[in-house]
Chain A
Amino acid sequence: MAESNFLIIVTVFFPLLSGVVSLLFWGQDRIQRYIGFGAGVVAWLASLGVLLATIESGPQVYSLGGWAPPFGIILVGDYLSSIFVFMSSTVMMMGLLYAIGCNDKVVTRPAFTTLFLAMHTGLMGALYTGDLFTMFVFTELMVLSSVSLVAISDNDLGLEAAIKYLFISSMGTLFLLMGIAAIYAAFGTLNFADIGQQLATGERPFLAREAAIMLTAAFLLKSAVFPFHFWQPDFHTTAPTPVHAVLSSVVVKIGVYGLIRLTTLLFTAEDELETIQNILLVLGTISIFFGSLGAFRTYDGKRMLAYSTFGQIGFILLGIGWGTALSLAASLVYAFNHAFIKSALLMLFGVVASRTKTKSARLAEVAGVGKSLPWVVGVLYLLGGFALAGVPPMNGFISKLALVQSGVDAQAWLTLGLAVGAGILTMMYMTRTWQLVFQQKPNDDTVELKTYNDNPLAPALLITACVLLGIYAGPLAELATDAAEQILDAPIYIEAVLGESATTVAER
């Protein structure tokens, strides 16, 4: 086992610690939000450090309390988790920056920053951990804090949506727990590397296949894929803007991450891998179809973007379902770019909605609101829309191109046709809302505009990142290619966690 990397634990627990510290400033919400942003920056720097160290010298590990795996809990930063954590911490930092300039009532609540940072910790921990049960605990931390954040939202419907999500997400948790019980019964360990090592021998003890089914269901539910998607538009639309930006862009990716781990490290034998991949392909295609159509016919701007996330997750699943090195790299690029684009667009829609009297993003109410905003917001929205639809030179084009290329490689023509059709639909609804918000004349009798709006600095930074990632796409594409190669080579991960003389629980 390699040296412990201190930065991993900073990424995970510094936000939680700052959340506790911010509680000391009860009632001084500005100071609390600055503390929150500071914690976000520190976590971002630490995650960048882990990513660079991973590129430099292979997977990084941190064993909690110095207990060696497979008995101790271990946090692992290999390519996959480092990339996902870097992406998530960037968006989280921007969400906290947006909260500073936000005019919603919810950000002045004493517990807002603490809950947001608890969600941050839950997400980072769930991505870094190399242990199934720790993943469950961190995911629950994330779920409970996001439920609380939505329940105190300015939108009155937030409470109902929070209850709905708490019920449904708990069903996902039940599946995960049953999967954990089945895995433990079959292998006597919960360490990813150890399970992967025992599964690689080809033996299938009692309950091993059942565990695969349970875990697939749990991760599909967490990422809101087709049959489990119905909570997602409600829950995300009613969330406060900074929370919505984070939920729709990175929190749903936890399921995607779990599915990549499942198909590349754990269940890699021919027949079961094929079953899981076929499930992902079918459900991903249906998700693309329903997500795009749902976004097209909806009446609310934020809801439109939530539906669009549902469709975009489908694209990422296609890449995982094809399962080649090229398509996995395409999935990673897609997930990375989508996180930036979607959070930026949601924040821009929040800026627009913050001008209206009711702070609603209903298309009937935001019509013409953009006329009174600085012109730069309109330009940013249009750029974000192009990126989402995949128009060059934005980064969305790069991710679509990579995915289409890998699809041609895998000879999946039907899904490719759907993907291109969905891109055209995306273009249609994004330009339609842009025209509605920024070009149309304001409807004087119904719209009474406020004189102030949320600060558009955070989305401006994110869109800048999108443009840069579109023009200098080389580094990200190379990183994803290297990552895909390493992900498909499971022994690298296992050796990094368990060490050279990889022993299992069973042997001891």
Chain B
Amino acid sequence: MAADRLTDVMERYEAVIGLEIHTEITASRTKMFCGCPVAFGGEPNTRVCPVCLGMPGALPVPNEAAIEWTVLAGLATECDIALWSQFHRKQYFYPDMPKDYQISQYDLPFCSDGRVSVEVDGPGAAERLDRGHALESGLLTGDAEAYTTVIGITRIHLEEDTGKMVHVGGAEGRIAGADYSLVDFNRAGTPLMELVTEPDIRTPEEARRFAQKLRQIWLALGVSDCSMEEGSLRVDANVSIRPRGATGLGTKTEVKNMNSFKSLHDALAYEIVRQAEVLDAGGVIQQETRHWDVGAKRTSALRSKEEAHDYRYFPEPDMVPFQFTEEWIAALAGRLPELPDARKARFVAELGLPAQDAVVLTSDTALATYFEDAVAAAGAERAKAVANWVTGEFAAHLNAAGIGADASPVTPGALAEIVELVDGGTLSARQGREVFSAVIETGMAPSAIVEQRGMRQVSDSAAIEAVVDRVLAANPDEVARYRDGKTGLMGFFVGQVMKEMRGQANPGVVNDVLRARLG
């Protein structure tokens, strides 16, 4: 099995992984260097102008909002913001490049030297075989089942996206064997942040969690819709391995074409094993770019060019440098929303939620906001109860319907109502779930549904005692067997009582009364 193979390899080798994450700033209305609109799809070459088509004589003018977003992204990841920065030209020829150079940043990026904490729990934590040692030395915090690692952000810089190519005639639209290609420049010039991590990641699971965490932060910030399917979030990885205990770095390969978080994990797992097999056989790792083939579940080398790229970077002469002040940066920092880690910490400290719940609730900005709105309606003392409902029934409903928290017909107020009804004893938990479904079906308010269906839970002990007495009287044999030791029959008696009371009895009271009567 793949996981076993990985474990076996990781016992002998340590993986060193760095990620390069490109994020389209879809929050921007216009492209990075021209006023064409930013959008996904559309008829080819209908959102273009002389600038983003690279026509002779056209000039780039930088988008202020995109620069602000990039600085915000840096602030959200604890980066230093450069007080002096520039764009550079990165020169290479490719058909999707309108100018055959990309305006990017080189040695003066807007953001540098940040960090992101990544929590790893569940089965994936086991991939980090040295976690015991790392916890001891303080490299990781937490425990063996759920640890936190801090991944350094080397830099975040701003550049422009390329056009899109479609290859015609080859297998599955791939480059290999194509007869020709078609180029669409609608996407060319879209503002693109490139984030590079330090090679601090040690397992495929950590890589996956990092990407997910970064996506959460970006979504909370609102800088991008972060769609891996549409290509507004793209993750490439650099991975090498070294024998456990070694300090030098092995030769790294670049892995691309991982179009989901799962692919990111699986591709890295594959590549680590592949590299180990090469080294075990006495071979040498080629420094190359490899594509993940999600169908075949393997990476394969691209036909590599004759030599490494010479990008011939030089400062972009068509734009002037940027000189930021601390005041300007501080003003921007004031625009930062509450980020996932801070929100999570607040849920634990102020609402008394267990860390696990806080993690799940803040994994999605819309969900976290929904939760907070529901708590506001239900009262902070019911926070845990609300959390249970949101992470349980509500999350399952969102999943089944394929919608986000802000699209659900169950409003935070409605959910709060249901929680109050159950928590206050008016409804049983099962009744609560029934009302929840009814809200979705009918759109009625919970209290209205309860009224209409006469669903109030009966908790009156006298009423329940009467029914219990009737049930016990009607089933003498079972009473005898229960008193003989068949305590499992309690379920039977509860069922009978519930049946008579049409499910509306408060189960706690029923149990208490039965126990009292049966002795």
B is a partner of A:
no
